[in-house]
Homo-oligomer: A and B are copies of this chain.
């Protein structure tokens, strides 16, 4: 069972309604009435040692940075603006205080860069290090964007490039293995600095939310790619009831990602479809917005919304195959099996 399947199964035990609530469990963030102009948004995201980061190569300042930006990303996915964070942290016994301070310095960098403020939190003793960050945001009522809402013939767009965070992880894991065998070897990762920063210090695409507003483009549906492109297109398809048709040669990637795929003799497509932790935005827009978007260097039109429910990837030879519904967690394997409860 994946995390989202488990959440949906647990959801049936809950109430799921409130007079002030607009949208509860099931989108990137929950939505309720703030005032006449705004909806309030709330999302929470957790990073856990061993599953989400490795202290050997994730320096504490980056752990704090990534925990905060990954949580903010969910507010961007609603086309909203992040305002406040709370930071809950589990700290193993005897952990040096300087390490915890470094984590908070990373969060401070996010405060400054994203204009957000930590307003609370708590600290628990724990066996492993973990951070759970809740984000409060808001969005003008007429600009809210859900996972639901794509219509046939809408264009499917993605920001930035794909697969880099996973490619960076592969390099970091390789360097860790080398280090463990021979600690005197200095790692040389100079040819992979871009993808390593994608893994260690990902950014939420609040800049893209602002850019869409400047361009006067209102997406019909949106999600962030924390679980990878394949999971994203399936989520938007299910929410809208329509399918999606992507073109392989339109999927954006960095040269370093391609080099890692070659290095490991793995298909580049796997990196682009299943690599997660990217926090790029996947969204749909009406066909009529094409002129506004076609010259944007950070926005790529990668396909269109199909009237039937099929989710397909077409290769450059014109062959379209179904995109497997597989999330980053399942791809990574370990994390998925860890949340899968055994039968009693």
Q: Which residues of A contact B (CB under 8 A)?
A: 1, 3, 6-7, 9-10, 13-18, 20-21, 24-25, 29-30, 32, 34-35, 40, 42-46, 48, 51-52, 83-84, 86, 88, 90-91, 93-101, 104-105, 107-108, 111-112, 116-128, 130, 132, 134, 136, 334-335, 337-339, 341-344
Contact = CB atoms under 8 A, between A and B. Distances in A.
Given A18-B84, A32-B84, A136 B42 contact: yes
A119 B24 contact: yes
Nearest to A35: B35
Nearest to A98: B344
Contacts of A13: 101, 104-105, 107-108
A44 B127 contact: no
Nearest to A13: B104
A35 B20 CA distance: 14
A334 to B, nearest CB: 8
A93 B337 contact: yes
A21 B117 contact: yes
A93 B120 CA distance: 30
25 contacts: A3-B123, A6-B100, A13-B107, A14-B117, A14-B118, A15-B108, A15-B112, A17-B117, A21-B84, A30-B86, A32-B84, A42-B84, A42-B119, A88-B132, A93-B337, A96-B341, A97-B342, A99-B341, A100-B341, A122-B132, A124-B132, A125-B339, A127-B128, A130-B130, A136-B136
Interface core residue of A40, A93, A119 (most chain B CB under 10 Å):
A119
* Copies of the polypeptide in the assembly: 2
Where chain A touches its partner, the secondary structure class is mixed
Contacts of A127: 127-128
A30 to B, nearest CB: 4
Contacts of A20: 83
B3 A107 contact: no
A142 to B, nearest CB: 18
A48 B86 contact: no
A125 to B, nearest CB: 3
Nearest to A106: B13
B7 A51 contact: no
Contact of A25 (B1, B52, B108, B118): B118
B341 A91 contact: yes
Given A9-B97, A18-B116, A124-B132, 15 more contacts: A13-B104, A13-B107, A14-B104, A16-B117, A16-B118, A25-B121, A32-B83, A32-B84, A32-B119, A45-B122, A46-B88, A90-B90, A90-B130, A99-B344, A125-B335
A327 to B, nearest CB: 13
B339 A94 contact: no
A14 to B, nearest CB: 5
A179 to B, nearest CB: 22
Contact of A339 (B118, B120, B124, B338): B124
B338 A125 contact: yes
B90 A48 contact: yes
Given A101-B10, A108-B14, A44 B121 contact: yes
